[in-house]
């Protein structure tokens, strides 16, 4: 989606159930988030490097730092917005068509992604100038 902007990204409280045994969090596609989940992947044992640096043409995602913390910098070509993910019940809902950089993974961080589509290398825009052209900036 060419017309999305950083203000379309939303932090959501992931549904959680608590009792004396601790916490259980759940995400159901189409119910807690506006898409069906076709793929789950997660990043872990990330050294002091940045990841991401791409946009997706179609993919919608929910990112959750299930352990530790990470910064996600969203960029629509005109504006940037930084989200700090640091709780297993805090999710960042990302619509398609936005550039993201992932930085400052804490030690032991695990970043889980619930994705709206199966893997498709063609869905990625990995060159920032191509991204700006795509957004018409």
The residues annotated with a catalytic role in the active site are 54
**Cα–Cα distance between 55 and 98 in angstroms, integer?**
5
Residues 72-101 that bind ligand T46 (CB under 6 A): none
How far are the Cα atoms of 85, 102, 114 from residue 119, in angstroms, in the given order?
A: 24, 19, 12
Residue 58, CB-side half-sphere exposure with 13 Å CA sphere = 8
Among 17, 23, 44, 119, binds ligand T46 (CB under 6 A): 119
- E strands present in 22-128: 22-26, 39-44, 51-56, 61-67, 70-75, 80-85, 90-94, 99-103, 110-115, 124-125
Nearer to ligand T46, 121 or 137 (CB): 121
Least Cβ distance, residue 9 to ligand T46 (angstroms): 12
Rounded to whole angstroms, the Cα distance separating 107 from 129 reads: 32
Q: Residue 101 Cβ, how far from ligand T46 at the closest point, in Å? A: 9
The answer to whether 51 contacts ligand T46 (rule: CB under 6 A) is yes
Helix (H) and strand (E) counts in the chain: 1, 12
Among 17, 23, 41, 44, binds ligand T46 (CB under 6 A): 41
In the complex with ligand T46, the residue whose CB is nearer, 64 or 135, is: 64
| 43 is a contact residue toward ligand T46 (CB under 6 A) | yes
Q: How far is the CB of 126 from ligand T46 (least distance, A)?
A: 8
| 52 touches ligand T46 by CB under 6 A | yes
Using CB under 6 A, list all residues that contact ligand T46. 39, 41, 43, 51-52, 61, 102, 113, 119
């Amino acid at each position: 989606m060419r017309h999305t902007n950083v203000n379309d990204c939303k932090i959501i409280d992931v549904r959680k159930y608590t009792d004396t045994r601790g916490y259980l969090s759940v995400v159901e596609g189409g119910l807690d988030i506006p898409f069906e989940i076709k793929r789950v992947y997660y990043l872990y044992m990330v050294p002091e490097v940045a990841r991401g640096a791409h946009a997706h043409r179609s993919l919608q995602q929910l990112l959750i730092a299930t352990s530790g913390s990470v910064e996600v910098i969203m960029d629509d070509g005109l504006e940037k917005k930084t989200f700090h993910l640091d709780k297993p019940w805090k999710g960042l809902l990302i619509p398609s068509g936005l550039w993201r950089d992932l930085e400052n993974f804490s030690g032991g961080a695990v970043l889980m992604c619930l994705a709206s589509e199966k893997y498709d290398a063609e869905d990625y825009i990995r060159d920032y100038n191509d991204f700006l052209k795509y957004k018409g900036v």
